[in-house]
Amino acid sequence: MSPPFTIVGLGESLFDVFPDRAILGGAPLNVAHHANQLCSASGGRGVVASRAGTDKLGQRMLEELRVRNLSAEFVQIDAAHPTGRVDITLRNGEPTYDFLADVAWDHLEWTPEWRRLAETCDAVVFGTLAQRCPTSRATAQRFVETARQAVRLFDVNLRVTFYDADSLRRGAELATAIKLNEDELPIVLNLLGLAADDERSRDGATRLLHHFAPSGLRFVVVTHGEKGTELLTGDTSVRGEIARFERHPNADNVGAGDACSAGLLWGWLNNWSPEQTVTLANRLGAFVASQPGATPLLPVDLLASGAASM
């Protein structure tokens, strides 16, 4: 049996608003949702550390967290700013995003409750989007700085112009693992001054890993969409088995990378081999990509495969 891990999704919480529906999301919240499903059998939990408004979407968020058996204990309430929202347009199943500005999660506060969570959690995932404003950037970085005992996954998630070299560099310095997709990798390398001409993605990921290893970076993960996930540790690169699931008629790819992140954290916390870890990450990501929205319930056999490998 796995220990009762606490995995924190730190940062934005919002609603993904499609032309015909609004679905609770935000990368850290999505990771916490899937991590909670993986952790709950052994008494662990996924935790959302974010901020919501007092508007109707904020009320709906709290209710949906309750329905998903996710605690709202660390969701701060903001009476001055609206709940996060992103309008999503799909083209051939691929999303484009239009984010509402100056929302509740742009004003994350460092509180005693968050300090205690940071000091005791086993893993935390954080990204670039929630660092687009100075207040939330300072709070997110302080949380991760405090969580030195935890696995710290920097899930890059470049969105429009909500990132810069300073946040990328500091995120990498604070992380034990960095995850980014094959399109984001060259952008990150260029901004950090680590790019080289005519290189393969593996060469760039290896350079990123070696550059930040002195500050504690242990893993770099590069996702390749339906081609799966690549995990680099030192000079070793591993790809797990590619997974396929029957596709729902209204399926989209929103949140597939977040499910992948939950699988990676689960494998690392349980000291799995790189092959086992990436295989679970591929399966979780592929399943979510086969479903509508970012937070479907994981099937029993998929959860069982996570337990069976321990």
Q: How many CB atoms lie within 10 A of CB 121?
A: 23
- Measure CA of the first residue to CA of the last residue in the chain; give whole Å: 7
How far apart are alpha carbons 5 and 15 in whole angstroms? 27
How far apart are alpha carbons 58 and 79 in whole angstroms? 10
Q: Is the pLDDT of residue 159 over 90?
A: no
Residues with Cβ within 8 Å of 65's Cβ and at least 6 positions away in sequence, in order, are: 24, 48, 71, 72, 75
Q: How many CB atoms lie within 10 A of CB 116?
A: 12
* Helix orientation angle between 165-174 and 201-212, rounded to the nearest 10 degrees: 70
Q: Is the pLDDT of residue 298 over 90?
A: no
> pLDDT digits over 73-117, tens only?
999 999 999 999 988 887 776 777 788 999 999 999 999 999 999
> pLDDT digits over 171-230, tens only?
999 999 999 999 999 999 999 999 876 566 678 999 999 999 999 999 999 998 888 899
- Cα dihedral value 69, 72, 73, 75, nearest 10: 150
Name the residue range of residue 12's domain. 6-303
Q: Is the pLDDT of residue 310 over 60?
A: no
Q: Which letter does DSSP use for residue 21 in this model?
A: -
Say if 1 falls within a structural domain: no
Give the residues across from 223 on adjacent strands.
Answer: 181, 229
Higher pLDDT, 119 or 236: 119
Say if 186 falls within a structural domain: yes
pLDDT at position 256: 87
Q: How confident is the model at residue 303 (pLDDT cuts 50, 70, 90)?
A: confident
> pLDDT digits over 225-275, tens only?
888 899 999 878 998 788 888 888 877 777 889 999 999 999 999 999 999
pLDDT at position 272: 94
Say if 23 falls within a structural domain: yes
**CATH number, domain containing residue 82:** 3.40.1190.20
Say if 30 falls within a structural domain: yes
**Could you give the number of structural domains in the chain?**
1
> pLDDT digits over 35-78, tens only?
999 998 889 999 999 999 999 999 999 999 999 899 999 999 99
The phi, psi pair for 73, rounded to 5°, reads: -60, -35
Host H or E run for residue 78:
strand 75-78
pLDDT at position 2: 75
- Tokens at residue 218, please? 């242990």
Q: Are 156 and 264 in contact (CB under 8 A)?
A: no
How far apart are alpha carbons 47 and 121 in whole angstroms? 9
Say if 165 falls within a structural domain: yes
Say if 40 falls within a structural domain: yes
Say if 309 falls within a structural domain: no
pLDDT at position 1: 64
pLDDT at position 3: 82
Say if 310 falls within a structural domain: no
Residue 286 class from Cβ within 10 Å (0-12 exposed, 13-18 middle, 19+ buried)? buried
